[in-house]
């Protein structure tokens, strides 16, 4: 995908949804070429444990399908954690809510729109 939009891989971020030990949903935004470190995710969210939700739950929880999950405009507002590497780039890309469509914005705009927090997640 980064090639199709002319972006460096480290500037294209994916949105992942997880559940913690209190059965709360959490959103994590990380570079697409990395994997979420669940221990770091738990620490960032002050949880004992974090696990990814099942793909079949995604639409009901967020309003988005797999591959089109955006950290902006979910059905409900969930605690959102953005990998701290986003601050290394003037502009980053996140899903626009439709599979294959990205939106380009500054990390500050994403932080504000998602009411997010920066954390070490990868």
12, 92 contact by CB (below 8 A): yes
Among 92, 28, 13, 111, which residue's Cα sits nearest to residue 62? 28
52 CB-contact burial (10 Å; exposed 0-12 / middle 13-18 / buried 19+): middle
Query: In this predicted model, what pLDDT tens digit does every residue of 62-80 receive, in sequence order?
Result: 999 999 999 999 999 999 9
What pLDDT does 4 receive?
66
User: Where residue 50 sits, what CATH number does that domain have?
Assistant: 3.90.960.10
Query: In this predicted model, what pLDDT tens digit does every residue of 23-59 receive, in sequence order?
Result: 999 999 999 999 999 999 999 999 999 999 999 999 9
pLDDT of 104 > 60? The answer is yes
pLDDT of 1 > 90? The answer is no
- pTM (predicted TM-score): 0.94
Beta strand pairing call for 25-31 and 13-20: antiparallel
Domain that holds residue 109: 2-119
CA dist., res. 31 & res. 19, Å (int): 20
Query: What is the CB-side half-sphere exposure of residue 80 using CA atoms within 13 A?
Result: 22
pLDDT of 5 > 80? The answer is no
The total domain count for the chain is: 1
What pLDDT does 7 receive?
87
């Amino acid at each position: 995908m980064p090639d199709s939009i002319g972006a460096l891989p480290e500037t294209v971020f994916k949105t992942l949804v997880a559940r913690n030990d209190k059965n709360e949903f959490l959103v994590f935004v990380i570079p697409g070429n990395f994997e979420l470190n669940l221990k770091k995710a738990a620490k960032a969210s002050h949880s004992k444990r974090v696990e990814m939700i099942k793909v079949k739950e995604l639409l009901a929880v967020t309003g988005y399908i797999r591959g089109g999950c955006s950290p902006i405009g979910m059905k409900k507002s969930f605690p959102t954690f953005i990998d701290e590497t986003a601050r290394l780039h003037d502009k980053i890309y996140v899903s626009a809510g439709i599979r294959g469509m990205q939106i380009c914005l500054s990390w500050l705009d994403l932080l504000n729109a998602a009411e997010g927090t920066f954390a070490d997640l990868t």
